[in-house]
Amino acid sequence: MMRKCHLNTCPVGVATQDPVLRAKFQGKPEHVVNFFFFVAEEARQIMAQLGIRKFDDLIGRADLLDTKKGIEHWKAKGLDFARIFHLPAAPAEVPRRQVEVQDHGLARALDVKLIEKCKPALERGEKVQFMHEVRNVNRTVGAMLSGELVRHHPEGLPDQTIFIQMEGTGGQSFGAFLAKGITFYLIGDANDYTGKGMSGGRIAIRPSIEFRGDAMKNIIVGNTVLYGATSGEAFFRGVAGERFAVRLSGATAVVEGTGDHGCEYMTGGTVVVLGETGRNFAAGMSGGVAYVYDADGQFASRCNTSMVSLERVLSPAEQSATTDPALWHKGKEGTPESDDAILKKLIEDHHKWTGSLQARHLLDQWEWSRSRFVKVFPNEYKRALSELAAKAARAQPATTEPAGSATPAPAKAKASEKKTKVSPAK
């Protein structure tokens, strides 16, 4: 037992990204198929011994379990499973398995109404804008709508083709899997898993107009927001709960504070935090970049630096003079940009979508504000950028001299001299 699955040094090439170690893997898909054929064959043999023809007839038959070996094992001493394997007295005609279809309430989901209103966009690509109320009982709002959009337009729709302004409280997984072309503008707040798996859409959440508190000190979205989001952007005028942007892999987000474990296991994308974070920020973060406003100068004590480095956000001139552009983070357009440009643009967008007072305050004194930001740069991401730059440099063809610049061949010059040479007089 090697116990190296987490170290990227798997000696048999399974749990590793190292090409040298991966070459050691000898498995093939056919081996897995063959294994399951053996499993199925053995299962049929055991069922034949028990006199059972179908798997459905095995459900609930705890009386057929061979528990002797388990009970006699020393670890089972003192354990009583009688109530777990208890068979209730029931007539033979009473089914022991699922025979009725469960009503999940999908026909009454809010998305059914949204899909109906968005038909011009879904069917003909026309722009659609409307307002709708949302409550915390409306879960996964946008998931069914996104699924319908992708059925008609696999690559998504142009930005803001569908614009829905909502008021109220978004239920769990609000905006889950939101597809490209859909914008959710929510006036209110939302629950856990907001933006889960977001896939190109946009979510903007701001407090109610009647709210009189400080957005920097109030929760506006719950825990595990933007879990595994692959693309798109989100703007939250307020504080997020714990594990904000966990496993984020490509989306962009701006928030005004986070709970513990922010950007945990993040592998790509960009996160901007305009306020205080909780502890253990960036634990397991291997990709993407986070920009954190360090107002009290204590962010380093709240960040897990086992896999990341903390750097200053430099001015464009300073960054150009000290850092190879090949190591710059990619902006919204997918091309490398200076940290100053990326950060400022995202804060401007945050102010545009949410009216954030904090964003306005930072922009009004940008030179000073930028100096207070900390760039969280994963070491593995930096290494990958360096390797890609080196590979690109090696792939460039060697430079040659321009045509016509070469000097005449010596042989030709000698021949010319021979023709004009005069023989000495006899």
CATH number of the domain where residue 329 is located = 2.160.20.60
pLDDT for residue 300 is more than 90: yes
* Residue 334, CB-side half-sphere exposure with 13 Å CA sphere: 3
The size of the chain, in residues, is: 426
Q: Given this model, what pLDDT does residue 200 score?
A: 97
Highest mean pLDDT, choosing among 101-110, 124-133, 326-335: 124-133
Q: What is the full DSSP assignment across 124-150?
A: H---EEEEEEE-TT--STTHHHHHHHH
Q: Given this model, what pLDDT does residue 182 score?
A: 98
CA dihedral (36, 42, 46, 52) positive or negative: positive
Burial class (CB in 10 A: 0-12, 13-18, 19+), 175: buried
In a domain, 51, yes or no: no
CA dihedral (332, 338, 340, 341) positive or negative: negative
Report whether 262 contacts 273 (CB < 8 A): yes
Interatomic CA distance for residues 59 and 43, integer angstroms: 14
In a domain, 120, yes or no: no
In a domain, 138, yes or no: yes
pLDDT single digits (tens) 195-215: 999 999 999 999 998 898 999
Which residue shows structure tokens 């406003």? Answer: 293
pLDDT single digits (tens) 380-413: 999 999 998 898 888 877 554 455 554 444 544 4
User: How far is Cα of residue 326 from the mean position of the Cα atoms in its chain?
Assistant: 23
In a domain, 394, yes or no: no
pLDDT single digits (tens) 108-164: 999 999 999 999 999 999 999 999 999 999 999 999 999 999 999 999 999 999 999
User: What angle (nearest 5°) sits at the alpha carbon of residue 254, between those of residues 311 and 242?
Assistant: 90
Interatomic CA distance for residues 143 and 195, integer angstroms: 10
* Share of residues in the chain with pLDDT > 90 (%): 71
How confident is residue 82, by pLDDT bands cut at 50, 70 and 90?
confident
Which residues, 6 or more positions from 245, have their beta carbon under 8 angstroms from its beta carbon? 225, 226, 229, 251, 253, 262, 263, 264, 266, 269, 271
Q: What is the mean pLDDT of the chain?
A: 91
Which residues, 6 or more positions from 273, have their beta carbon under 8 angstroms from its beta carbon? 255, 256, 257, 258, 262, 290, 291, 292, 293
- pTM here? 0.78
pLDDT for residue 419 is more than 50: no
Q: Which residue type does 223 have? A: N
For the record, the structure tokens of 340 come out as: 């100053």
**How many domains would you assign to the chain?**
1
In a domain, 160, yes or no: yes
In a domain, 424, yes or no: no
Interatomic CA distance for residues 162 and 158, integer angstroms: 9
Sheet strands side by side (includes 182-190): 128-134, 162-170, 182-190, 199-206, 231-236, 249-255, 267-273, 287-293, 373-378, 308-312
In a domain, 53, yes or no: no
How confident is residue 90, by pLDDT bands cut at 50, 70 and 90?
confident
**Which of 73-87, 128-142, 345-359 has the lowest average pLDDT?**
73-87
Q: Given this model, what pLDDT does residue 209 score?
A: 85
Which of 184, 175, 205, 203 is CA-nearest to residue 354?
205
User: How far is Cα of residue 338 from the mean position of the Cα atoms in its chain?
Assistant: 22
* Residue bearing the bigger pLDDT, 261 or 96: 261
The SS3 call for residue 333 is coil
Which residues, 6 or more positions from 272, have their beta carbon under 8 angstroms from its beta carbon? 253, 254, 255, 290, 291, 292, 343, 346, 347, 350
Interatomic CA distance for residues 295 and 104, integer angstroms: 47
| Cross-strand pairs, 134 | 168
The strand pair at 267-273 and 239-240 is best described as unpaired
* Structural domain containing residue 323: 133-386
Which of 259, 260, 159, 245 is CA-nearest to residue 201?
159
Q: Given this model, what pLDDT does residue 376 score?
A: 98
Angle between helices 143-152 and 110-117 (to 10 degrees): 40
pLDDT for residue 79 is more than 60: yes
| Cross-strand pairs, 219 | 239
In a domain, 12, yes or no: no
